[in-house]
Chains A and B, each alone.
Chain A
Amino acid sequence: MGFSDKYEIVCGVETHVEMLTKTKIFCGCSTEFGGEQNTHVCPVCLGLPGVLPVLNKEVVNLAIKAGLALNCEIADFSKFDRKNYYYPDLPKNYQTSQYDLPICKGGWLEINVNGQKKTIGITRAHMEEDAGKLVHSGETITTSHSSGVDYNRTGVPLLEIVSEPDMRSIDEVLAYLEELVQIIDYAGVSDCKMEQGSVRFDVNVSLRPLGSNQFGTRTETKNLNSFNSVRRCLEYEIERQADLLDEGGQIIQETRTWDEGKGITLSLRSKEEAHDYRYFPEPDLLPLVIDSEWIERIRKTLPELPSAKRERLQSIGLSEYDAKVITSWKPMADFFDKAWEEFKDAKILANWVTGDLSGLLNAKNSSFEESPITPQQLAGLLKLIQKGEISGKIAKSVIEEMYNTGKDAEVIVKEKGLVQISDEGELEKIIMEVISSNPKSVADYQAGKENAIGFLVGQVMKATKGQANPGVVNKLLREKLTDN
């Protein structure tokens, strides 16, 4: 009996995103990634005695922005709290976070899995500070004699976004995460650089017998930093829980860690008495009062979000699939929009953006943000094809030349004499020559072998170095061969 006949998955995710500010949440140290260890630190973020934190206004702006993008209610009154625990990456022995009065609550986003739409609830989103980075002397934390701590990341602003336990399959979890990260990226709240740890996920999952409406006991696996890790971790953890339940065992509610190398989750239970964070209001920070004027000011800065963009792209002629591909990456979507202003055949434009141009950029290790071909230049190239001045095939070599030289398509076509020959008089001469030097193919065609024409068209193309307009050649050839 398969897994899916017996159990239903119940899953919720806590997502931590590093917010895109210049400075840390409570001090003026830089948030830049990759600095030499312990050089973006000061008495405040090192937790030295006697210092006072001051909240970065941009953090509040970005948290409001994220909340609005996720359809949350923005709290008119919110405050910070201390979450107390001992760990070397936390110099103050508490993390400044928000407990009972978070800045955002009650939001949602919509996912689409195999054509099925579903709304996933967002319980809350709150501001907090990131912890430092540990470097272990041994292979893993458990085999290390000692560890090194770099506090550069300590105090980098985080937004923790907590979903409702609304997801019922791994595909739904992945769809939620992709949509969430895309929204945060579009809104400009975070750079969402997964490879730099800008986004991390804690995944809560439990199983229950199919048909049951009670939640089973859940586990939480912390600190997953890619979609792929989330998928693999869930596959493993769901099977582990199912095996345990099948054997009549019980799931222990606990925090687990993901071992990327081994592909397994491990219990993080320790002698430390579990989760006793002793939250209390942060006396060093004053409460936040956010009025509707502030919220509206931020709302005006919200760009078009992915779901709205997908709908708009479909309304100008793209398929659902193409709209999804184009919007999957904001720089590509921005490029598409700019090019579309000048070239209105969305379908053809999408093919070139996701096909040839994407391919070129990938091959040269570049990106849409750095593309040497501007959206206007791509539109210019496509117009030449549309007007019949060059063939699609010639265009493929022109775009490479554009990439390498930065020149406009029109200039390259002129310089290299690539203009397509559509002039019937000129083509007729070449066609007559091809007909007289290929009597066998001509006879074949006239005897009813339709595909013999392909060879003859090819000969004309060869004689014109690919510059003949194939449509015109085809038409003229058929006329001539029927005349004879």
Chain B
Amino acid sequence: MKISKKEVEHVTLLARLELTEEEVNQYTEQLNSILEYAEMLQKLDTDKVSPTAHAVQLFNVLRTDEVKNSLSQQEALSNAPEAEDGYFRVPRIV
């Protein structure tokens, strides 16, 4: 086993998911089989290969520092479940 049930529960919490006991067991099993499959890559000799930072071999895609139009406040808030006085309203934080 690559990852334990406890690690799956930890990731569940970090991802703000609520899983049943059954789901935790199921995902532990599935995640392990995915990791085992990917394990195959360990067989490759990568001693002389530098880590890949990006799948595309492109660099320095940059834009000039020019102000573009922003959304209006109304547009910005149009998808908000709750808004108040021009703010997105969120539940108590801590």
Task: Please indicate whether A and B come from the same complex rather than being unrelated chains.
Answer: yes
* A27 partner residues in chain B, CB cutoff 8 A: 68
Q: A54 CA to B61 CA in the complex, in Å?
A: 7
Contact bitstring A29-47, B, C-beta under 8 A = 1, else 0: 1100000111111110010
* A142 partner residues in chain B, CB cutoff 8 A: 94
Which residues of chain A from 45 to 75 have a CB within 8 Å of any chain B CB? 46, 48, 54-60
- Residue B88 lies at the interface, judged by CB distance under 8 Å to chain A: yes
The answer to whether B91 touches A146, judged by C-beta atoms less than 8 angstroms apart, is yes
Which residues of chain B from 25 to 55 have a CB within 8 Å of any chain A CB? 53-55
Which residues of chain B from 47 to 94 have a CB within 8 Å of any chain A CB? 53-56, 58-73, 76-77, 79, 84-94
B interface majority secondary structure: loop
* B54 partner residues in chain A, CB cutoff 8 A: 79, 281, 283, 286-287
What would 22 A/B residue contacts be, using CB atoms closer than 8 Å?
A22-B66, A23-B67, A36-B73, A39-B73, A41-B71, A42-B70, A43-B71, A46-B71, A56-B64, A58-B64, A88-B93, A101-B53, A135-B87, A147-B90, A148-B87, A148-B88, A281-B53, A283-B55, A285-B61, A286-B58, A286-B61, A287-B53
Q: Quote the shortest CB–CB distance from B4 to chain A (angstroms).
A: 15
- Residue A141 lies at the interface, judged by CB distance under 8 Å to chain B: yes
* A41 partner residues in chain B, CB cutoff 8 A: 70-71, 76
10 tightest A-B contacts by CB?
A28-B68, A148-B87, A58-B65, A57-B62, A149-B88, A88-B90, A289-B59, A37-B86, A79-B53, A38-B76
Closest to B79 in A: A48
* B72 partner residues in chain A, CB cutoff 8 A: 39
Closest to B77 in A: A38
The answer to whether B76 touches A146, judged by C-beta atoms less than 8 angstroms apart, is no
The answer to whether A286 touches B59, judged by C-beta atoms less than 8 angstroms apart, is yes
* A148 partner residues in chain B, CB cutoff 8 A: 84-85, 87-90
Q: By CB atoms of chain A within 10 A, which of B65, B66, B68 has the most?
A: B65
Given contacts A60-B62, A287-B59, contact A46 B85 (CB under 8 A): no
A interface majority secondary structure: loop
- Residue A415 lies at the interface, judged by CB distance under 8 Å to chain B: no
Q: A28 CA to B62 CA in the complex, in Å?
A: 12
The answer to whether B88 touches A55, judged by C-beta atoms less than 8 angstroms apart, is no
Q: A134 CA to B93 CA in the complex, in Å?
A: 10
Q: A57 CA to B60 CA in the complex, in Å?
A: 9
- Residue A329 lies at the interface, judged by CB distance under 8 Å to chain B: no
The answer to whether A30 touches B67, judged by C-beta atoms less than 8 angstroms apart, is yes
- Residue A387 lies at the interface, judged by CB distance under 8 Å to chain B: no
- Residue A195 lies at the interface, judged by CB distance under 8 Å to chain B: no
* A87 partner residues in chain B, CB cutoff 8 A: 93
- Residue A464 lies at the interface, judged by CB distance under 8 Å to chain B: no
Q: A54 CA to B88 CA in the complex, in Å?
A: 25
> How many residues of chain A get a CB closer than 8 Å to chain B's CBs?
55
The answer to whether B71 touches A42, judged by C-beta atoms less than 8 angstroms apart, is yes
Q: A168 CA to B69 CA in the complex, in Å?
A: 48
* A38 partner residues in chain B, CB cutoff 8 A: 73, 76-77, 86-88
Given contacts A38-B76, A41-B76, A58-B65, contact A144 B92 (CB under 8 A): yes
- Residue B1 lies at the interface, judged by CB distance under 8 Å to chain A: no
The answer to whether A29 touches B94, judged by C-beta atoms less than 8 angstroms apart, is no
Which residues of chain A from 258 to 276 have a CB within 8 Å of any chain B CB? 270, 272-273, 276
Closest to A294 in B: B60
- Residue A176 lies at the interface, judged by CB distance under 8 Å to chain B: no
Q: Quote the shortest CB–CB distance from A332 to chain B (angstroms).
A: 29
- Residue A145 lies at the interface, judged by CB distance under 8 Å to chain B: yes
Closest to A59 in B: B65
* A151 partner residues in chain B, CB cutoff 8 A: 76, 88
- Residue A278 lies at the interface, judged by CB distance under 8 Å to chain B: yes
Q: Quote the shortest CB–CB distance from A148 to chain B (angstroms).
A: 3
Q: Quote the shortest CB–CB distance from B57 to chain A (angstroms).
A: 9
- Residue A455 lies at the interface, judged by CB distance under 8 Å to chain B: no
* B58 partner residues in chain A, CB cutoff 8 A: 286
The answer to whether B67 touches A145, judged by C-beta atoms less than 8 angstroms apart, is no
The answer to whether B68 touches A23, judged by C-beta atoms less than 8 angstroms apart, is yes
* B16 partner residues in chain A, CB cutoff 8 A: 86
Q: Quote the shortest CB–CB distance from A24 to chain B (angstroms).
A: 10
Q: A40 CA to B69 CA in the complex, in Å?
A: 9
* B73 partner residues in chain A, CB cutoff 8 A: 36-39
Q: By CB atoms of chain B within 10 A, which of A38, A56, A60, A142 has the most?
A: A38
Q: A467 CA to B2 CA in the complex, in Å?
A: 94
Q: Quote the shortest CB–CB distance from B33 to chain A (angstroms).
A: 21
The answer to whether B88 touches A29, judged by C-beta atoms less than 8 angstroms apart, is no
Q: A84 CA to B16 CA in the complex, in Å?
A: 12
Contact bitstring A414-431, B, C-beta under 8 A = 1, else 0: 000000000000000000
- Residue B5 lies at the interface, judged by CB distance under 8 Å to chain A: no
Closest to A57 in B: B62
* B93 partner residues in chain A, CB cutoff 8 A: 87-88, 134, 141, 144, 147
* B13 partner residues in chain A, CB cutoff 8 A: 272-273
- Residue A411 lies at the interface, judged by CB distance under 8 Å to chain B: no
